[in-house]
Amino acid sequence: MKDTVPKLRIDLEIIPTSYQGEKAFVVKDTLGLIEKPVLLYGGILELVSLIDGKRDVQDIQLELIRLRKGMLVSSDEVTQILTELDGLFILDSDQYRNERGRIISEFKEMDVRAAALAGQAYPDSFDELQRFLESIFQQGIEAVNKPEGERIVALIAPHIDLTVGKDVYAKTYAIIRELSPKTIILLGTGHSILDHLISLTEKDYETPLGRVRTDREKVGILKQLDLPIIAPDDFAHRSEHSIEFQLIFLQHLFGSDFRVLPLLCGAFPGSMASYSHPVMIPDVKQFIHHLRHFVDEAPAETLVVAGVDFSHIGPKFGHAKPASALLAEAREHDRVLIDAICQGEVQRFWAEIKQIDNGFNVCGFSALACLMELFPQTKGECLDYEIWKEEPTQSAVSFAGIVLYE
């Protein structure tokens, strides 16, 4: 039996770039085992492309010799590079799995989910963060006001970098400034969830603006459903920014006395082709039913916030073409999705994603679909929409602010 080389980790962020005029990749790790981004370039890219979990050292050696048209590559050279990659925690090896298990166990024992991005994506002191957020809110002075007689039930906000999305954040959160919710259900995008739709946590959330209590009773009720779509641990919450970014805006508006129900959404189970909308999936239907019950217990005091972005296009996100060549299609795709959200047409929303197999990488798809099933009778309004272009990677991300009324 072959002593195969462990495959590459699937939970790494691998970003295409260039180095000295040649193709390269930057490797980042939200788990934190790779402390600084690693740059892979030159001949090592050929070797990395052969690490698939099926080849042993000799297989990789022979394939490299073939790719290099007979140039000798020793097995010792291959082994040395593989050892270095493993030491950097790039391979899905026993060493990586042991360290990951240790980190998961340590996080599991914590009562509080500490701010992961404070001091990086935003200021880490109370006063500086308040000033930073207030400067963003100044952008929303001309925000759309809530129509008379309409009750806001949900908000869709970006989770893109705060300075990149400041105008959209401002217009989105300004519309709820007069509310006073006591419970906020947070639907975040679970970027690191691999095998489940939902990740729950009982941990309180802490930011430089204070500690917000998680409604552990409600989380406990959802856990007791024992549904296969729910992840067995809450590790996906550890470094995820999609909820954290929403929380600091909510704290800036309302203080820290409200309670939260934080949910991260991964991918729907099975094939999309089998369903026309989420609640056709039995476990999803049961989960949404219980969430709706929580809303109906105190509708005037409950707000739902989804932290999502829309299309991700360009080489950074797996496309062969640059974002500039895909912008028109992606913008039209987003337009259809946003119109379906605002009209409460979840089946049209699902069909639009399904027809291209989420080819434009709408990372908030599952959270948005669940939100629409949660409020099937809502109408919405798009407050703002933007596309951020990352020129170095020839990639782009779209995002929007949307308010839903019931």
d(CA 66, CA 72): 9
Report the 3 state secondary structure along 19-76. Answer: ECCEEEEEEECCCCCCCCCEEEECCHHHHHHCCCCCCCHHHHHHHHHHHCCCCCCCHH
Is the confidence at residue 135, as pLDDT, over 90?
A: yes
Cβ neighbour number for residue 348 with a 10 Å cutoff: 17
- Tell me what percent of the chain is helix, strand and coil, each rounded to the nearest 5: 40, 20, 35
- Dihedral-angle region of residue 38 (phi above 0 means left; psi in -120 to 50 means alpha; beta otherwise): beta
pLDDT of residue 255: 97
Q: What per-residue confidence (pLDDT) applies to 43?
A: 85
Q: Helices 216-224 and 282-297 meet at what angle, rounded to 10?
A: 150
Kind of pairing between the strands at 210-214 and 379-390: unpaired
Tokens in use for 125? 């002191």
**Closest C-alpha to 165, from 28, 26, 308, 15:** 308
pLDDT of 196 > 90? The answer is yes
CA dihedral in degrees (316, 320, 325, 329; nearest 10)? -90
Taking the C-alpha atoms of residue 386 and residue 365, their distance in angstroms, rounded to an integer, is 17
Structural domains in the chain plus CATH codes: 13-104 (1.10.10), 113-405 (3.40.830.10)
Terminal Cα distance for the chain, rounded: 62
Query: Residues 32-67: pLDDT tens digits?
Result: 898 889 999 988 898 999 999 999 999 999 999 998
d(CA 246, CA 235): 19
What residues contact 239, with CB distance under 8 A and at least 6 apart?
30, 31, 32, 116, 192
Task: Give the pLDDT score at 17.
Answer: 85
395 three-class SS:
strand
The pLDDT of residue 145 is 67
Does the pTM surpass 0.95? The reply is: no
Among candidates 375, 384, 405, which has minimal Cα distance to 334?
384
Which tokens belong to 77? 């050279």
Cα–Cα distance for residue pair 320/322, rounded to 1 Å: 7
Write out the H or E segment, with its range, that includes residue 247.
helix 241-254
Mean pLDDT value across residues 181-185: 98
Cα(80)–Cα(66) distance, integer angstroms:
19
Q: Are 376 and 285 in contact (CB under 8 A)?
A: no
Indicate the helix (H) or strand (E) that contains 198.
Answer: strand 198-200
361, 317 contact by CB (below 8 A): yes
Tens of pLDDT along 332-387?
A: 999 999 999 999 999 999 999 999 999 999 999 999 999 999 999 899 999 999 99
Condensed to tens digits (0 to 9), the pLDDT of residues 215-250 reads: 999 999 999 999 999 999 999 999 999 999 999 999
pLDDT at 274 over 90: no
The answer, yes or no, to whether residue 146 has pLDDT greater than 70, is: no
pLDDT on residue 67: 87
Q: Is 246 helix (H, G, I), strand (E, B) or coil?
A: helix
Question: Residue 142: pLDDT above 80?
Answer: no
Q: How far is CA 165 from CA 27, 255, 288, 309, in A?
A: 24, 22, 29, 10
Convert the pLDDT of each residue in 201-211 to its tens digit: 999 999 999 99
pLDDT(183) > 80: yes
